[in-house]
Structure 1
Amino acid sequence: MPQNDQPQQTSYLELPANGEHDDSRPLANQLPQYEALAELEATTTGRDDGRVDIDLSSRIARRLSRLVPAEKRPLFHEDRPNAPPEYTETSERSLRLNIVIQVVGSRGDVQPFVVLGTELQRHGHRVRLATHGQFDRFVRDSGLEFFSIGGDPAELMAYMVKNRGLFPSMKTLRGGEIQRKRKMVDEMLHKCWRSCIEPDDLTGRPTWRSVTSDVHDALDEYTLGDIINAWRGTLDLEAIPFSEGPCLTETLGVPVTYCWSPALVPKPADWPENIDVCGFFFRDAPSYEPEASLANFLSSGPPPVYIGFGSIVIDDPEKLTATILEAVRATGTRAIVSRGWSKLGGDSPGDDQVFFLDDCPHEWLFQHVRAVIHHGGAGTTACGLLNAKPTTIVPFFGDQPFWGNMVHAGGAGPAPIPFKVLDSNNLAEAIQFCLTPEASAAARQIADKMSSEAGVRRAVASFHANLPLNDMRCDMLPNLPAAWLYEKKGKHIKLSKMAAEILVQEEKVSWKDLKYYQSQPVHIENKRWDPVTAALSSLTTTSIGLATSTADIIVKPIQAFRPTTPSGSRSSSRERANRSGDNSERASADGVFGRPAGIDLPPPPETTNDKEHYHQHRALTAVKGSASGVGGFFKYYYKGLLLDLPYAVTEGMRNAPKLYGGKAYDPGAVTDWKSGGIAAGKNFAHGMVEGIGGIVMEPVRGAKKEGAAGAAKGVGIGLLNFGAKVSSGTIGLVALPSHGIYQSARALVKRKTGKSIMEARKIEGRDIVERSDEAERQKDRTAVIEGQSTTTRYLVEMAVSPEAAAIIQRKKAQYCRFADSNQWNRFDSIMLPNATFLFHNPDGSVITKGDIEYSWSSTKDWVAFFENEFKTMQTIHIVGPAEMEQIAPDEIKAIWAVTYHAGTKEHEGGVHGTGGGHYHETWKKVGNDWFMESLRMERLYWKVLSV
């Protein structure tokens, strides 16, 4: 088989599976010389399909690998399951959500999410699938709601076929295709948002929205970052920093589910817990009756080979057809060729050896063929392997080469044949390989493993497992998600749309008393690594803003006066926006000198009488555009120098200890003036205590670990910490509150999106109440009104019941006795399995012992640590009466004063000391019993009495 698609490359080095490498050399000797960096270009090769080959056996790769910490991970985790949670028919069915699934791509990309949406719907959720208009009927026939996001999947596929590499071709650039695709993406982004808040075009069901934030990093941040940030601006969201966009899924810990088969690609053991590999999403085989011509072809000879490229749009379908026919006839096999979007075979009906197929479900067809040859779409690959068919993949772009390599690695097919080098010879060889007994046996082995997987059910279980259910539930109707927050006297009640509507109708509350609720708000911060790069990055961003605003003073008036024809792209864009009902203020999609104009242009006049008004409007638009450039210049200047630069330096100083192996203190996210002030106080206190105290303590810690050399290192680290932490704390006293004030002021001005969300929630709540039948409506009304009086009584008036207080007091006494008498196996009767624990000093810093932080996220881990810690220790815990507060009907907060004594068990010698502080605990009601859900111990003092 020809190998000219593979770059000439030296042999590759297979790294050990556990990631180990030789790090015995000193770090100074590991750094590559500057001249060695020239090797990087020679050992890195870009492929035509957009992938990059790196020679890991080269000198530069080996040197750079030594800079990566040798983090030893097990091949398979033993302390936690590596598979997604098991599926159950009733898993979290009680909480009904509004879910929108947004898909860009071909029918093969849409179909798995139709399957997922159908399964979610079985669990009581309302599901809307937002994708291209071409799939309207396909989605609605599956029983799901549909919303068109625009865009043409055929154009997108054709573009990807023509531009498989990292950079588009000159022909594409000259033809203006890049600008057209950018406009298409801009349209899809806006309609993706509208799919969350606008009614169904067909049924008229009201607007609705369930998600709590908008984070978008799925698109290519490097090439579409300006469009994404412009779109975020229309939603009153701040721009995503260029360096953060591509990494948001990882940095925010967003749960990710890969819908491929673990039998084909197992989940690596070192992937974090928020990533699941669930299996392919298969739909039930549809009932299908083949046309007479297809049935006759299948019955007239041995099973054929399937060849098809689905949604791929090919420039020269006649040439590809000829290649396929030549390969088929050379092997003497029979073949079914799918015409696909490229219309292979034209109008030819085929002959006794080749049948040209228009449309047929793969689930049915693949049961009647010997092998499959296709472009490597994930769904087609999965369907072929599930039916135990040897597979040849002819990849074009994207993940298709990946699937080809995985199939080849499993022995179920030959190495993938890139479309660029496909010819009748290598295609014939691939067909012959697929017809071998070895390929059939390998495909059967993979199919046997896949048949036991329940991909879509596991994905639904994974989805439910990642929901923050306690934060999402309505306090009055627990089977509905909370959408509103009612606050009174510092207490909080979460309300669903229905509960809020009922309470408003009953005049128990008014809309002005309610805030729209976010169960898990997302805060995107620009990560800073050190003060130098932080300052440079901030100044660069400010400079770019100043340059852009200066250009806008001239560019925007030019944009306003550019000639526009009724058939021009600009007016067409406007007409499309008007037809879709998008009345939001949105920047024109057209640009000047390759950049967005950022202004809303008037449509061209339709009559002569409109011309004068039209020209006046354009002149006014030009003036406004120029004025916005002037305003933007001063905004970037003052904000950049007075707010952004000090804040960046503060964050850079705070994170600087990470550069030499230290830890950075996190004072919390700054979202408003209040959190800014709190963060400034914490950061200052920590900076002073750690910065000044570190000058003494770091040499002591170093001496304990490494003797005199460690003490010398500690002196250097102490001085570095003093400079970084004290500076961060001092500058942060001004920078952090200023940043918080800016966020509060911005939230007051940028309220348009928030108002639209609130209005959408009001309308949906009204619609839910009106659509419910009388019996159901009365049942919900009774539950809400009775729940309202009960909840108000619990939250505002009623003290903790004597029964609940007695249970918690008894269990706290048991807590002390079990810890002092080493009865660690009995804590299950006191605490929930997923209880959290945190022990900290008065300044908020976590208590540490060596490299271990006193923070645990499960009772099992907490028990394991202290059971080992207290083997040679004897403790006595003494707690006083608790302050208790009923937060919800099933939640109580308790604060205990504690004094404790600890010492070694020997009668003479050893260490003896005493300490004290406060336990801050949350207790949850389960059935008729109460269990500890969280414990935060604030240690006020610890004094060693004897050594």
Structure 2
Amino acid sequence: MKILLLTAGSRGDVEPFVALARSAEGRGHQVRLGIPDHSGVNTDGIDTVSLHMDFAQLIDDQGVSPRAAARTFRTVIRPAMGRLLFAAVQQIVTFAPDVVVYHPKILSAPVAANRVGIPSVIVETVPSVSRTREFPAPYITPVNLGPLNRATYLAAPLAALMFRSGLDAAFKELPPGPNRRGGQRVSMIPVSPQLLPRPHDWPPTVHLTGYWDGKPAPVGADAELEDFIDGGKFVYAGFGSMKAGDARERGEIVLEAARRCSLRVLVTTGWGGLDIPTTAHEDVLVRESVAHDHVLPHATAAIHHGGAGTVHAAARAGVPSIVVPFIGDQPFWGHLLHRRGLGPAPIPYRKLTADRLTDAIGKAGDCRHYAAQVGERVREEDGATAAVHVLENLAG
């Protein structure tokens, strides 16, 4: 089977697709993976193509501020999305796959797949498309609205209207003629049921597979990091791609709170979410990034922004999460982990203080035993293989 995988976004949007690609190839399928530029994810050995959009550069230029995004929507974001949508359609036409598996940002994928008569599968890295009464759309609100929850999912299709011109340009690459109908719509959700139990009202076409976690990447020699890990209790702190607000002030807050709790701190600066003064002492180690699967099992807690990838990495490691959400789905994950007993209540980044973070670190200690139990169950999952089985059954 020829499988085309198309994804867009930051590292957390790319890593699950890489894991799926490797799993599918391991079962003998031919895979092509379309990803954004400079994702920072190891794709060695995979047939990989660029979708001509650089999310890292977008964030570096304007951070994650909604105001900045609104100011640059016409001049930067809409043209960038246009290139992405166009490249996705080109790959569907030239690769001629048997099935297209796509991230929700690839708005052109389902229409293009339907036009050429092949099935398409949407990958909800965040469960924001498949409607349910049990919780609202994660990008809308983390507050349960009861009977109004299903209505919140109606906002998702509006995104296509914002990029109508880019979609129209992309569809010109398609062969003429009517749609050939590639089959029923199928969704795959790469989320652990240990974190999100399957809602009762999802239809059978929605597959909660478990997280798509690839084989751990080889860890390069870093004697200083190994010595730090072996040197006593520490917390991990990293905010990934969340470049917003005062990163230096956040760094100082993290250091102060950890020291109040007599803990050392391993900091990852990511794309600019944290900045640590050069005068930091021996109880602090700073890296741009680290392998979560190598580091987190040794930490007492993980302080992070609440991206889906980091949420699952911490859960898999069996450590509590202290979520400091910035935008999008992050408040959803923060509140979900809190409800599941895997961390204290989230602290929005604008409300982060040393006092609040110190209190959260203390409360995280009460979650350690249960987090370790959940970690054992999450490590037993093989979501990527389950997802490949869904695709094989779909191709039938």
TM-score, length-normalised on structure 2?
0.78
Amino acid at match of 1:426: R
> Cα–Cα, structure 1 residues 286 and 375, in superposed 2: closer, same or farther, change >3 Å?
same
Match of 1:403 among 304, 315, 333: 333
1:330 shift after superposition: 2.6
The 5 A counterparts of 1:14-93 are: none
Report SS of the residue matched to 2:163: helix
Once residues 343 and 221 of structure 1 are traced to their aligned partners in structure 2, the CA distance between those partners, rounded to angstroms, is: 30
Once residues 194 and 222 of structure 1 are traced to their aligned partners in structure 2, the CA distance between those partners, rounded to angstroms, is: 21
Report SS of the residue matched to 2:239: coil
> Cα–Cα, structure 1 residues 218 and 279, in superposed 2: closer, same or farther, change >3 Å?
farther
User: Contact 1:98–1:125 at 8 Å: present in 2 too?
Assistant: yes
1:395 shift after superposition: 1.4
User: Contact 1:281–1:456 at 8 Å: present in 2 too?
Assistant: yes
Amino acid at match of 2:84: M
Say yes or no: does 1:462 pair with 2:385: no
User: Contact 2:211–2:383 at 8 Å: present in 1 too?
Assistant: yes
What is aligned with 2:195?
Answer: 264
The 5 A counterparts of 1:784-803 are: none
Once residues 41 and 255 of structure 2 are traced to their aligned partners in structure 1, the CA distance between those partners, rounded to angstroms, is: 34
> Cα–Cα, structure 1 residues 358 and 160, in superposed 2: closer, same or farther, change >3 Å?
closer
What is aligned with 2:104?
Answer: none
Say yes or no: does 1:380 pair with 2:310: yes
What is aligned with 2:135?
Answer: none
Bigger-Rg structure (1/2): 1
Once residues 77 and 335 of structure 2 are traced to their aligned partners in structure 1, the CA distance between those partners, rounded to angstroms, is: 30
Once residues 333 and 273 of structure 2 are traced to their aligned partners in structure 1, the CA distance between those partners, rounded to angstroms, is: 24
1:103 shift after superposition: 0.8
Report SS of the residue matched to 1:286: coil
Once residues 337 and 149 of structure 1 are traced to their aligned partners in structure 2, the CA distance between those partners, rounded to angstroms, is: 31
What is aligned with 2:131?
Answer: none
The 5 A counterparts of 1:829-840 are: none
Say yes or no: does 1:224 pair with 2:155: no
Amino acid at match of 1:148: S
Aligned length: 341
1:445 shift after superposition: 2.6
Amino acid at match of 1:326: E
User: Contact 1:373–1:391 at 8 Å: present in 2 too?
Assistant: yes
What is aligned with 1:161?
Answer: 64
> Cα–Cα, structure 1 residues 419 and 461, in superposed 2: closer, same or farther, change >3 Å?
same
What is aligned with 2:48?
Answer: 146
1:209 shift after superposition: 4.1
For 1:735-764, what per-residue CA distance to the aligned partner results, in whole angstroms no more than 9, with x for missing partners? xxxxxxxxxxxxxxxxxxxxxxxxxxxxxx
What is aligned with 2:91?
Answer: 195
1:238 shift after superposition: 9.3
Say yes or no: does 1:132 pair with 2:28: no
Report SS of the residue matched to 1:417: coil
Report SS of the residue matched to 2:42: helix
Say yes or no: does 1:428 pair with 2:358: yes
Once residues 305 and 339 of structure 1 are traced to their aligned partners in structure 2, the CA distance between those partners, rounded to angstroms, is: 14
Report SS of the residue matched to 1:127: strand
Report sequence identity in percent: 29
What is aligned with 1:370?
Answer: 300
For 1:13-64, what per-residue CA distance to the aligned partner results, in whole angstroms no more than 9, with x for missing partners? xxxxxxxxxxxxxxxxxxxxxxxxxxxxxxxxxxxxxxxxxxxxxxxxxxxx
Once residues 175 and 90 of structure 2 are traced to their aligned partners in structure 1, the CA distance between those partners, rounded to angstroms, is: 14
Q: Which structure exhibits the higher relative contact order, with contacts defined as CA atoms closer than 8 Å and separated by 6 or more residues? A: 2
> Cα–Cα, structure 1 residues 417 and 155, in superposed 2: closer, same or farther, change >3 Å?
farther
Structure 2 unaligned spans of 5+: 100-112, 123-155
Once residues 296 and 420 of structure 1 are traced to their aligned partners in structure 2, the CA distance between those partners, rounded to angstroms, is: 34
Match of 1:446 among 374, 378, 381: 374
Once residues 126 and 229 of structure 1 are traced to their aligned partners in structure 2, the CA distance between those partners, rounded to angstroms, is: 30
1:129 shift after superposition: 0.9
Structure 1 unaligned spans of 5+: 1-96, 164-168, 199-206, 241-251, 470-947
Report SS of the residue matched to 2:303: strand
1:412 shift after superposition: 1.2
User: Contact 2:334–2:346 at 8 Å: present in 1 too?
Assistant: yes
For 1:477-528, what per-residue CA distance to the aligned partner results, in whole angstroms no more than 9, with x for missing partners? xxxxxxxxxxxxxxxxxxxxxxxxxxxxxxxxxxxxxxxxxxxxxxxxxxxx
1:156 shift after superposition: 4.4
Once residues 349 and 380 of structure 1 are traced to their aligned partners in structure 2, the CA distance between those partners, rounded to angstroms, is: 28
Amino acid at match of 1:162: S
Once residues 219 and 187 of structure 1 are traced to their aligned partners in structure 2, the CA distance between those partners, rounded to angstroms, is: 19
Amino acid at match of 2:160: E
Match of 2:80 among 184, 190, 195: 184
Amino acid at match of 2:354: S
User: Contact 2:269–2:275 at 8 Å: present in 1 too?
Assistant: yes
1:408 shift after superposition: 0.5
1:155 shift after superposition: 4.3
What is aligned with 2:225?
Answer: 294
1:113 shift after superposition: 1.0
> Cα–Cα, structure 1 residues 222 and 193, in superposed 2: closer, same or farther, change >3 Å?
closer
1:374 shift after superposition: 0.7
Once residues 129 and 237 of structure 1 are traced to their aligned partners in structure 2, the CA distance between those partners, rounded to angstroms, is: 26
1:390 shift after superposition: 0.7
Report SS of the residue matched to 2:263: coil
Once residues 205 and 316 of structure 2 are traced to their aligned partners in structure 1, the CA distance between those partners, rounded to angstroms, is: 27
> Cα–Cα, structure 1 residues 188 and 172, in superposed 2: closer, same or farther, change >3 Å?
closer
Report SS of the residue matched to 1:138: coil
For 1:119-160, what per-residue CA distance to the aligned partner results, in whole angstroms no more than 9, with x for missing partners? 101121111111112148721x1x211101111212444657
Match of 1:276 among 204, 207, 210: 207
What is aligned with 2:129?
Answer: none
For 1:529-584, what per-residue CA distance to the aligned partner results, in whole angstroms no more than 9, with x for missing partners? xxxxxxxxxxxxxxxxxxxxxxxxxxxxxxxxxxxxxxxxxxxxxxxxxxxxxxxx
Say yes or no: does 1:116 pair with 2:25: no
For 1:793-838, what per-residue CA distance to the aligned partner results, in whole angstroms no more than 9, with x for missing partners? xxxxxxxxxxxxxxxxxxxxxxxxxxxxxxxxxxxxxxxxxxxxxx
RMSD of aligned Cα (Å)? 2.7
Amino acid at match of 1:146: T
> Cα–Cα, structure 1 residues 234 and 219, in superposed 2: closer, same or farther, change >3 Å?
farther
TM-score, length-normalised on structure 1?
0.34
> Cα–Cα, structure 1 residues 122 and 410, in superposed 2: closer, same or farther, change >3 Å?
same
> Cα–Cα, structure 1 residues 446 and 421, in superposed 2: closer, same or farther, change >3 Å?
same
Once residues 81 and 365 of structure 2 are traced to their aligned partners in structure 1, the CA distance between those partners, rounded to angstroms, is: 43
1:449 shift after superposition: 2.5
1:110 shift after superposition: 0.7
Amino acid at match of 1:362: H
What is aligned with 2:110?
Answer: none
1:371 shift after superposition: 0.8
The 5 A counterparts of 1:683-722 are: none
User: Contact 2:10–2:39 at 8 Å: present in 1 too?
Assistant: no
Amino acid at match of 1:280: Y
Once residues 55 and 192 of structure 2 are traced to their aligned partners in structure 1, the CA distance between those partners, rounded to angstroms, is: 26
Once residues 281 and 137 of structure 1 are traced to their aligned partners in structure 2, the CA distance between those partners, rounded to angstroms, is: 14
Report SS of the residue matched to 2:286: strand
Once residues 334 and 366 of structure 1 are traced to their aligned partners in structure 2, the CA distance between those partners, rounded to angstroms, is: 14
What is aligned with 2:324?
Answer: 394
Amino acid at match of 2:21: G
Report SS of the residue matched to 1:445: helix
